[in-house]
Amino acid sequence: AQTVTQSQPEMSVQEAETVTLSCTYDTSESDYYLFWYKQPPSRQMILVIRQEAYKQQNATENRFSVNFQKAAKSFSLKISDSQLGDAAMYFCAYRSAGYTGANSKLTFGKGITLSVRP
Amino acid sequence: NAGVTQTPKFRILKIGQSMTLQCTQDMNHNYMYWYRQDPGMGLKLIYYSVGAGITDKGEVPNGYNVSRSTTEDFPLRLELAAPSQTSVYFCASSSTGTGFGGYTFGSGTRLTVV
């Protein structure tokens, strides 16, 4: 079974600064997908960024980018030019590729609460 | 396009009561999921469905039941509510079991059992 670990329960960043949120995972599969979800106080789960394991190039979405290290099974999220609206809980998640049924599920880490200081 | 709609948004139950959490999606997605979110624990899969008439257990199914009579609806039933079922519940859907698309989530139901 796959596991996702987010070891930092909380982080804080100054507005306009850069912050990196860490995530590691454990799997024996070679093909899979990785995601970062944002959960603001509204509770809505919002997809921030996603990465395909077979692509070496790191995904980027505006101020959000990832550092995907497949051999190290690491998938960190970098937020540049942090804004007050970035304050939220962030979840790292894993999904197998090429499977159906229960293996199609997302496996989540425990999440990290990010606060942004004005 | 409403996406995934969950009702109610909040509910307080007494121990032993029963209730149904409703989930409807209008994207014609085959796959639907129920997760629960507890503080510091991430999201855990309760039940999932790969299509109408087909459901299966996830990691934490005890105390819950589901049905999938249509593609659109995937209600979650709590029988004999217990304090351990106090949680935030999310319904989600995806078009297939594979692929890069991730999930579309509902806005969640906060349930308190007292």
Count residue pairs from A and B with Cβ separation < 8 A. Answer: 69
Dihedral sign (CA B47, B51, B55, B57) = negative
pLDDT-based confidence at B101, cuts 50/70/90?
low
Contact in structure between A25 and A3 (CB atoms under 8 Å): yes
Is the model's pLDDT at B52 over the cut of 60? yes
The larger pLDDT score, comparing residue A104 to residue B87, is at: B87
Q: How far apart are CA B45 and CA B69, in angstroms?
A: 20
Contact in structure between B53 and B69 (CB atoms under 8 Å): yes
Q: Would the CB atoms of B40 and A45 count as touching at under 8 Å?
A: no
- Pick B98's closest partner by Cβ from A50, A100, A110: A100
Q: Would the CB atoms of B102 and A47 count as touching at under 8 Å?
A: yes
A68 in contact with B, Cβ within 8 Å: no
pLDDT-based confidence at A50, cuts 50/70/90?
very high
Report pLDDT for B1.
Answer: 63
Q: Would the CB atoms of A104 and B98 count as touching at under 8 Å?
A: yes
Is the model's pLDDT at A102 over the cut of 70? no
Question: Over the stretch B66-84, which tens digit does the pLDDT of each residue have?
Answer: 999 999 999 999 989 999 9
Is the model's pLDDT at A96 over the cut of 90? no
CB atoms within 10 A of CB A12: 13
- Pick B50's closest partner by Cβ from A45, A91, A101: A101
A1 in contact with B, Cβ within 8 Å: no
HSE (CB half, 13 Å, CA atoms) of B28?
0
Mean pLDDT of chain B: 92
Q: A93: closest CA among A72, A115, A80, A112?
A: A112
Q: What is the DSSP string of B53-75?
A: TEEEE-S--TTEEE--SSSSB--
Q: How far apart are CA A111 and CA A59, in angstroms?
A: 20
